[in-house]
């Protein structure tokens, strides 16, 4: 089975100390490539070191809404330079707007989000979007972004069918995490079942949101197989076929992944 975990945080404090072990376990589980999502200055530095060590890892560059208070010209300029030149940077993210945990105000989140959308367009890279309780504000900006040629994914999608359709209509992908395996996620599973084949992605969001049967534990990339198996069952297809489908989708969106051999 060929799998791609399109969203995990091996660069985080929780996973960085055991990153090598987790990459090995992921490889043994059929995870061919892992997109290591950075979200602030420190995780960027850690991620840059990790991609030197582990050929299966790829990287994103961005500041997530929780850390929008780090948004400053010198850091943003450095991030853009890395995004435009580093061969293993496949996307801008994770970026977006957070309306539930308000660690930073919208007065900081919105300028940060809008600037990184511009960076994505300049660098010709897709975006990885964080959205929680902010659909209207995120959608309006992404609609404009898509109209200018931008592409991306709504990571860990937990929205409604109507919201999902709105993002699909502007060319975005939807990615599903371990939440889709939870017993109380019937509505989300209905959305996941209906996503067109060519717009479906899977992720772990490690170290968070471990799927059933590992719920409550620290998540890891190898468990993206559980998300894949759940979605395959929902959609009535063979798990290997779905793994190949979502891997091809990942390589289409994150185009630097395509054709890259991993030893």
Handedness of CA 204, 34, 8, 11 (dihedral sign): positive
Gap between the Cα atoms of 189 and 182, Å rounded: 9
**Averaged in consecutive runs of 10 residues, what is the pLDDT profile of the chain (263 residues)?**
97 98 98 98 98 98 97 97 98 96 92 98 98 97 98 98 98 98 97 98 98 97 98 98 98 90 64
pLDDT score of 183: 94
- Show the tokens assigned to 171: 């060319």
72 burial class (0-12, 13-18, 19+ CB within 10 angstroms)?
exposed
Q: Which residues pair with 206 in a beta bridge?
A: 8
Superfamily of domain 3-257: Metal-dependent hydrolases (3.20.20.140)
Gap between the Cα atoms of 63 and 39, Å rounded: 5
> Which residue from 67, 83, 90 is spatially nearest to 7, judged by alpha carbons?
90
pLDDT score of 103: 84
At a CB cut-off of 8 Å and minimum separation 6, what does 87 contact?
256
pTM score of the predicted model: 0.97
> Which residue from 167, 155, 98, 102 is spatially nearest to 129, judged by alpha carbons?
155
177 within 8 A of 7, measured Cβ to Cβ: yes
| Location of structure tokens 């990459």 | 23
Strands (E), the chain: 3-8, 31-36, 57-61, 89-98, 127-132, 152-154, 173-176, 200-202
Question: Mapping DSSP to helix (H, G, I), strand (E, B) and coil, where does residue 115 land?
Answer: helix
CA distances (Å), 216 to each of 176, 211, 213, in order? Answer: 18, 9, 9
Say which DSSP state 22 is in. H
CA distances (Å), 223 to each of 162, 181, 212, in order? Answer: 29, 12, 9
pLDDT score of 212: 97
pLDDT score of 261: 62
Gap between the Cα atoms of 217 and 39, Å rounded: 22
Gap between the Cα atoms of 19 and 186, Å rounded: 33
Q: Angle of helix 41-53 relative to helix 19-28, nearest 10 degrees? A: 50
């Amino acid at each position: 089975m060929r799998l791609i975990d399109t969203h995990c945080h091996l660069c985080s404090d929780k996973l960085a100390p055991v990153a090598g072990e987790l990459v090995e376990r992921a490889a043994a589980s059929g995870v061919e490539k892992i997109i290591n999502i950075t979200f602030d200055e420190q995780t960027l530095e850690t991620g840059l070191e990790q991609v030197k060590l582990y050929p299966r890892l790829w990287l994103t560059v961005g500041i997530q809404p929780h850390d929008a208070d780090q948004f400053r010209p010198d850091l943003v300029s450095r991030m853009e330079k890395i995004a435009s030149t580093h061969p293993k940077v496949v996307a801008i993210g994770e970026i977006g707007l957070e309306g539930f945990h308000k660690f930073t105000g919208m007065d900081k989140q919105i300028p940060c989000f809008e600037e990184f959308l511009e960076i994505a367009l300049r660098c010709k890279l897709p975006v990885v979007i964080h959205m929680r309780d902010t659909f209207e504000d995120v959608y309006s900006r992404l609609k404009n972004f898509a109209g200018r040629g931008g592409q991306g994914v709504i990571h860990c999608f937990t929205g409604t069918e109507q919201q999902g359709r709105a993002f699909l209509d502007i060319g975005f992908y939807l990615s599903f995490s371990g939440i889709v395996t939870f017993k109380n996620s019937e509505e989300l599973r209905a959305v996941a079942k209906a996503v067109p084949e060519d717009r479906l992605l899977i992720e772990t969001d490690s170290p968070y949101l471990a799927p059933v049967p590992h719920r409550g534990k620290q998540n890891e990339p190898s468990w993206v197989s559980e998300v894949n198996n759940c979605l395959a069952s929902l959609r009535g297809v063979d798990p290997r076929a779905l793994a190949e489908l979502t891997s091809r989708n990942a390589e289409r969106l994150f185009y630097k992944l395509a054709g890259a051999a991993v030893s």
